[in-house]
Structure 1
Amino acid sequence: MFDDASLDDPQALNTIDDELRRIAGWGAEVRRAHTAAADVLAQVDQMDRPRAIIASGPHGRLFRAVLEPVCPVPFVVWPYGGLPAWAGPLDLVVVVCPEGDREEEVVAAAEARRRGCSLLVAAPEGSQLHTAAAGRETCFLPAGSADTTALAVPVLCALHLLGLGPEVEAEPVAEALDQVAKDCSPSVESDANPAKNVALALADSTPVVWGGSVLAARAARRVAESLRAASGRPAVAGDDAQLVPLLAGAPEADIFADPFEDGASELRPALVILDDGTEPAIAAAARRRLEEAAERASVRVQPVLAVEGSQMARFATLLATGRYAAAYLGLGLGRQD
């Protein structure tokens, strides 16, 4: 059973204080990551346009979400080991690894050097990845944070300076995260706290998360991961073709149901819509289909808004709000341990 009162109980909230502090410090992580890379960024200049950009490793999808709509060259995410067979001296390989010693990233960087590719690498100084990537054609950004999203900001700044992506500034992203920390603070009561509202909407439900823009869709996948981990329930993110059948097939609501007898399999879905204010027309149509399916099935719809600031600031706002919501959901379900 979900304990609504725990979300505004200082004693209960104290049990998730460490997690809430980590999320609240996200803005500071962005500033640290940018500060560590500032000297290198000040020397970055436009390069000869590469034939293609290859983002190696599991973090490449975020870069694709930001760059793909405007990047002047083909952009490929390669989450596997090594590099695609065609990668060569005309291509730029991007490798980001906060740990600095993951084998997949180290191997990718070494392979890129062997093939003569240009490299843009973010990792701790002196790490295995730093050593493997060192070379004349490498732009190395020292990692000032172990947080992947924070570390992505200076990498995106470098790609802009290289003439390959949109302008991204660290401070507006950090300020947006600071604002989320204020709005979603444990001291802000449920009726005025967007993250607690999401947790309450999901209290007795299976989360179904959707984002309309490319970045909001990426945020939806990350938020669904956080909700799964916090609740122990399945949480799904996807496009409307995948999610409409889940909403349409929701079990019929039963106001006389006994929650102690009805197991988790009887939980009904709740639709969380991540809205960054940049939905293209095709996404607006998809949203209408989802909302209509939810209405027909009497499924609750919970919007999460981030409609101000840059693309990355909006993405970070959605992601941070989702992380707060997951923490509060876990608390209400008694899973904070």
Structure 2
Amino acid sequence: MTWFDESRLDGETALASADLRLRYLAESGSRVRREVSGAADAIAEAVARAADSRPRAVIAGGPDSRLLRAVLEPFCPVPFVAWPNPSLPGWAGSLDLVVVLAPDGSDVGAASAVAEAARRGCQVVVACPPDSRVAEHATGRWTTILPTSTRDQLATAVTVLSFLHQVALGPVATPDAVAEALDEVAIACSPNRDISINPAKMLAIALGDADPVVWGGSALAARAARRVAESIRRTSGRAALAGDAEHLLPVLEATRPRNVFADPFADPAGGDRRPALVILDDGADDPVALAQRRSLEQAAAEHQVRVEYVEAEAEGEVARYASLLLHGTYAAEYLRLGLVEG
């Protein structure tokens, strides 16, 4: 059977086995600084090129376009379309700006979208490694490559958002604020910090015997919730869910009353694991989101479902998104570390 051994979260031997993964998380802030610094000249070139006129529309292409949509839709002063398909909308042309995130640079769909955009004469800004498949297809008079090297999705997104803010198409996305927010989470969730003062270890312990149900109220918090649930599924193999309140409420409402006499070691398959509600709070005060949150909290209370909170107070929406995402990813790694076969 699989069980959670919280002593491993402070054990030197166990932590050493996860050193590479935890070190990668700790370097998140430095990757943001590195990507934005390395692309500074290319960003300046793209800003200068875009200064003459505002595009008719912005099309975010490639599989990572949904992150840009979560950031830009409430702000962008021109029509914005997230288009994760390998082609572009039929109406896209020389009046439109196409932005593509390709942190790995090998994605065939992103390469196809970039090539089609260049062929149609669109203004194109693509963030990718300069020697990648996507870069090879990004050849055109109106194309600018923002060179990346870390293959980090968030760092690549911050690079593109920095450009979009400078051309008044996106909200403030100060790279330094994002990097500082990531550094603060890395310090708070460091493997060297004891369980009693480490929020990510405490969250992992709370989820050690549960199936997480993750919710975020704002568009970016909801995006972070989906990414955190993906990380938990990958590290634990458990059925972590993320979604809108209307989709998560039935899960909470179907939870059976807790059996205080149940033996947690009696079921080797772990079939009686209960859900645990994880709320990602980025400080958004939208009335609809607040009402949905109250409904989830009420359902959790009525069905004796544990509720855990992850809060972000960084400066700026993107920085708060980054903080929530990294906090949840740390917790997923500590969950992986604590689960043992016995």
Specify if TM > 0.5. Answer: yes
Report matched runs for 1:307-326 at 5 Å.
Answer: 307-326=313-332
Shift in Å at residue 42 of structure 1? 2.9
| 1:68 counterpart (66, 70, 73) | 73
CA distance in 2 between counterparts of 1:269 and 1:101 reads: 37
8 A contact 1:47–1:162 mirrored in 2: no
Shift in Å at residue 219 of structure 1? 0.3
Report matched runs for 1:200-219 at 5 Å.
Answer: 200-219=205-224
Task: Name the residue aligned to 1:156.
Answer: 161
8 A contact 1:272–1:304 mirrored in 2: yes
The answer as to 2:77 corresponding to 1:92 is: no
Q: Secondary structure at the match of 1:244?
A: helix
CA distance in 1 between counterparts of 2:152 and 2:314 reads: 23
Task: Name the residue aligned to 2:43.
Answer: 41
Shift in Å at residue 30 of structure 1? 0.5
Q: Secondary structure at the match of 1:28?
A: helix
CA distance in 2 between counterparts of 1:47 and 1:163 reads: 13
- Identify the range of structure 1 (172-181 vs 259-268) with the bigger mean alpha-carbon deviation: 259-268
Q: Secondary structure at the match of 1:136?
A: coil
Shift in Å at residue 47 of structure 1? 4.6
Task: Name the residue aligned to 2:262.
Answer: 257
Shift in Å at residue 60 of structure 1? 0.7
Q: Spell out structure 1 runs of 4+ moving beyond 3 A.
A: none
Shift in Å at residue 24 of structure 1? 0.2
Shift in Å at residue 279 of structure 1? 3.5
Shift in Å at residue 59 of structure 1? 0.6
| Aligned residues: CA RMSD | 1.3
8 A contact 1:97–1:105 mirrored in 2: yes
8 A contact 2:314–2:323 mirrored in 1: no
CA distance in 2 between counterparts of 1:97 and 1:268 reads: 38
8 A contact 1:160–1:167 mirrored in 2: yes
Report matched runs for 1:187-226 at 5 Å.
Answer: 187-226=192-231
Deviations along 1:174-205, one digit per CA (max 9) or x if unpaired, are 11111111100111111211101110111110
CA distance in 2 between counterparts of 1:203 and 1:102 reads: 35
- Identify the range of structure 1 (303-312 vs 292-301) with the bigger mean alpha-carbon deviation: 303-312
8 A contact 2:312–2:324 mirrored in 1: yes
Q: Secondary structure at the match of 1:207?
A: strand
8 A contact 1:230–1:326 mirrored in 2: yes
The answer as to 2:268 corresponding to 1:266 is: no
Give me the identity figure in percent.
Answer: 53
CA distance in 2 between counterparts of 1:125 and 1:103 reads: 16
CA distance in 2 between counterparts of 1:79 and 1:296 reads: 40
- Identify the range of structure 1 (194-203 vs 76-85) with the bigger mean alpha-carbon deviation: 76-85
Deviations along 1:286-316, one digit per CA (max 9) or x if unpaired, are 0000000000000000000102311111111
User: Which residue type is aligned with residue 55 of structure 1?
Assistant: A
Q: TM-score, normalised by structure 2?
A: 0.95
8 A contact 1:33–1:145 mirrored in 2: yes
What are structure 1's unaligned runs of at least 5 residues?
none
- Identify the range of structure 1 (2-11 vs 215-224) with the bigger mean alpha-carbon deviation: 2-11
The answer as to 2:59 corresponding to 1:59 is: no
Q: TM-score, normalised by structure 1?
A: 0.96
User: Which residue type is aligned with residue 74 of structure 2?
Assistant: P
CA distance in 1 between counterparts of 2:44 and 2:91 reads: 32
8 A contact 2:115–2:139 mirrored in 1: no
CA distance in 1 between counterparts of 2:106 and 2:63 reads: 14
User: Which residue type is aligned with residue 178 of structure 2?
Assistant: V
What are structure 2's unaligned runs of at least 5 residues?
none
8 A contact 1:248–1:293 mirrored in 2: yes
User: Which residue type is aligned with residue 11 of structure 1?
Assistant: T
Q: Quick one: structure 1 residues 126 and 8, their matched pair in 2 at CA, closer, same or farther if it must change by over 3 Å? A: closer
CA distance in 2 between counterparts of 1:47 and 1:65 reads: 27
User: Which residue type is aligned with residue 33 of structure 2?
Assistant: R
CA distance in 2 between counterparts of 1:313 and 1:196 reads: 22
Shift in Å at residue 261 of structure 1? 3.0
The answer as to 2:31 corresponding to 1:29 is: yes
Q: Secondary structure at the match of 2:212?
A: strand
